[in-house]
Amino acid sequence: MVIVMLPDAEPEHVDAVVARVEAAGGQAFVSRGMNRVIIGLVGDVEEFSTMNLGRMPGVGQVTRVSTEYKLVSREQHPDRSSVYVRGVPIGPDTVTLIAGPCAVETPDQTLAAARMAQEAGATLLRGGAYKPRTSPYQFQGLGEKGLKILAEVRQETGLPVVTEVVTASDVPMAASYADMLQIGTRNMQNFALLQAVGEARVPVMLKRGMSSTIKEWLMAAEYIAQRGNLEIVLCERGIRTFETATRNTLDISAVPVVQRLSHLPVIIDPSHSGGKRELVLPLSKAAIVVGADGIIVDVHPEPDTALCDGAQALVHEDLDELALAVAELTAYTRRRPGRRRYSAAS
């Protein structure tokens, strides 16, 4: 059961609801979003139904949710949501292109990649300062130094920044530099990290675990939401299967499936799915027409010397074709490009 408080609900209204639920032997999880407080109830639903919670002061709406994920479910919130990253929308009305280097290596490389991203039509810059790598002997990212480079490149280009966090204790620092925090596939069930970004004041991109079911993915989003951050974008990036011809198997069906179950936006990462440059363009096209709310792609000015995943990064020659495909197919879907609107800017 989920209670959505009115926008002008007072803290004592929230406390009163919590107290009544606990008095009835239930648990109440308070989620303080940017413009609404939501309370998830766990316990005896029949009992709750007899308690007239809907008439308590400050309560807007009481919804019975049958799924295990509550705050992120579409049952609770039938309209699909938009998330704004420094005013750049990701949601049902737009197709948003996010691009940038897999890893931040140098200021020059990052700026060059950001310029490439803009050339392709991207309105958000991706770039990793913390890289979770299979081997401890591989490049692990520049850390805070990388975050500073990203902030400088944002200054230069105007592109808001999306970057990965890998440890709960780094979240506040990373949030002070970046505009959106990414949870990578290996950390989708790092619950301490999910809770940390749930308490951050910036939107979150939650990549699907490479062998997580859609339900587990939504439960991971619920961990974030439950801590008060409802600004979550889901990202399908390929799952692990027996097939080795591609790095991962892009589960393109996940987009329409998730959109029926959850109100959260969902985007596709064609670069990590296929793991090969030549697959990025066809998979990007498929992503847009299947209904994804955006795509996130790797670009690199000199992929042969990239410290991370060079084989899947787009190069200069690919950008025009990508830009054209995104523009044409966005039009086909009757959406608009995911650009900041002056009225919506934060």
Q: Does 291 bind its own copies (CB under 8 A)?
A: yes
Quickly list DSSP for 133-189. -SSTTS----THHHHHHHHHHHHHH---EEEE---GGGHHHHHHH-SEEEE-GGGTT
Q: Does 67 bind its own copies (CB under 8 A)?
A: no
CB of 157 or CB of 249, closer to its own copies: 249
Binding mask 72-111 for its own copies (x = CB under 8 A): ----------------------------------------
Tell me the closest approach of the beta carbon of residue 150 to its own copies, in angstroms: 20
CA distances in angstroms from 114 to 8, 100, 219, 296, 316, listed in the order given: 41, 6, 33, 13, 12
Tell me the closest approach of the beta carbon of residue 191 to its own copies, in angstroms: 5
- The CB-based long-range contact list for 7-11 (8 Å cut-off, 24+ gap) reads 7/35, 7/36, 7/60, 8/58, 9/37, 9/57, 9/58, 9/59, 9/60, 10/57, 10/58
Q: Which of 68, 77, 67, 92 is nearest to 3 (CA)?
A: 77
Paired residues of 59 in beta bridges: 5
Q: Does 210 bind its own copies (CB under 8 A)?
A: yes
Tell me the closest approach of the beta carbon of residue 196 to its own copies, in angstroms: 9
Quickly list DSSP for 260-283. HHBSS-EEE-HHHHH-SHHHHHHH
Q: How far is CA 259 from the centre of its chain?
A: 14
Residue of 245, 334, 342, 343 that binds its own copies (CB under 8 A): 245
Q: Does 256 bind its own copies (CB under 8 A)?
A: yes
* Total interface residues for its own copies by CB under 8 A: 66
Q: Residue 267 is encoded by which pair of tokens?
A: 């985007």
Q: Which window, 104-112, 185-193, 228-236, 299-307, contacts its own copies (CB under 8 A)?
A: 185-193
CB of 52 or CB of 253, closer to its own copies: 253
CB of 27 or CB of 346, closer to its own copies: 27
Sign (positive/negative) of CA torsion 226, 187, 247, 162? positive
Q: Does 253 bind its own copies (CB under 8 A)?
A: yes
Kindly state the helix (H) or strand (E) to which residue 98 belongs, with its residue range.
Answer: strand 94-100
**DSSP label of 341:** P
Q: Does 135 bind its own copies (CB under 8 A)?
A: yes
Q: Does 332 bind its own copies (CB under 8 A)?
A: yes
CB of 274 or CB of 303, closer to its own copies: 274
**DSSP label of 64:** -
CB of 182 closer than 8 Å to CB of 145: no
Q: Which window, 13-21, 45-53, 164-172, 297-305, contacts its own copies (CB under 8 A)?
A: 164-172
Residue of 328, 344, 345, 346 that binds its own copies (CB under 8 A): 328
Tell me the closest approach of the beta carbon of residue 323 to its own copies, in angstroms: 15
State the helix-helix crossing angle for 277-290 and 254-261, rounded to 10 degrees: 40
Binding site for its own copies (CB under 8 A): 27, 29, 40, 42, 68-69, 132-137, 166-169, 186-187, 189-192, 210-211, 213-216, 219, 222-223, 226, 239-246, 249-257, 260, 273-274, 278-279, 282-283, 285-291, 328-329, 332
